[in-house]
């Protein structure tokens, strides 16, 4: 009987290993999803490059783009002109440059650039 008992234990371990193998298959699916995310990040960076090119042409901006400060939009504001950046309340914005008026050039999380009035922003 002891030999039969050892055999049954081994069989259970064997079956458990097979279940683990099924779990590995599902983890492979997760890895594939990770690669898809990386692909979308590449597409996003490509889109941001296009947005930067459009920004440089529209604003005739030849300086290096560097983030001066970060700000949070206090309220939602639609864009009235093509050069204005539409913002939603609570959105994080990177301040790129300060203008002579009461507006600053900002970049949102999607990579779009535009003017935003200082009165609509909350600086940290």
- Write out pLDDT tens, residues 67-100: 999 999 999 999 888 899 999 999 999 999 998 8
> What's the pTM value of the predicted model, to 2 decimals?
0.63
Higher per-residue pLDDT: 100 or 27: 100
Return all residues near 86 (Cβ < 8 A) that are at least 6 apart. Answer: 77, 78, 79, 114
pLDDT digits (tens, 9 = 90+) for 33-44: 555 555 567 777
111: pLDDT strictly greater than 70: yes
CATH of 65-123, one of 3.40.1620.10, 2.30.30.40, 1.10.1660.10, 3.40.50.720: 2.30.30.40
Confidence of residue 49 (pLDDT cuts 50, 70, 90): confident
Residues 72/87, Cβ–Cβ less than 8 Å: no
């Amino acid at each position: 009987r002891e030999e039969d008992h050892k055999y049954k234990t081994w069989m259970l371990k064997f079956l458990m290993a097979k279940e683990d193998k099924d779990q590995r298959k599902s983890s492979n699916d997760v890895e594939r999803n990770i690669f898809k995310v990386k692909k979308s990040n590449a597409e996003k960076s490509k889109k941001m490059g296009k947005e930067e090119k459009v920004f440089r042409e529209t604003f005739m901006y030849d300086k290096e783009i560097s983030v001066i400060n970060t700000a949070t939009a206090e309220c939602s504001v639609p864009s009235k002109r093509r050069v204005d950046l539409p913002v939603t309340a609570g959105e994080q914005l990177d301040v790129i440059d300060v203008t002579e008026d009461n507006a600053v050039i900002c970049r949102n999380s999607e990579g779009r650039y535009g003017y935003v009035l200082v009165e609509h922003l909350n600086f940290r």
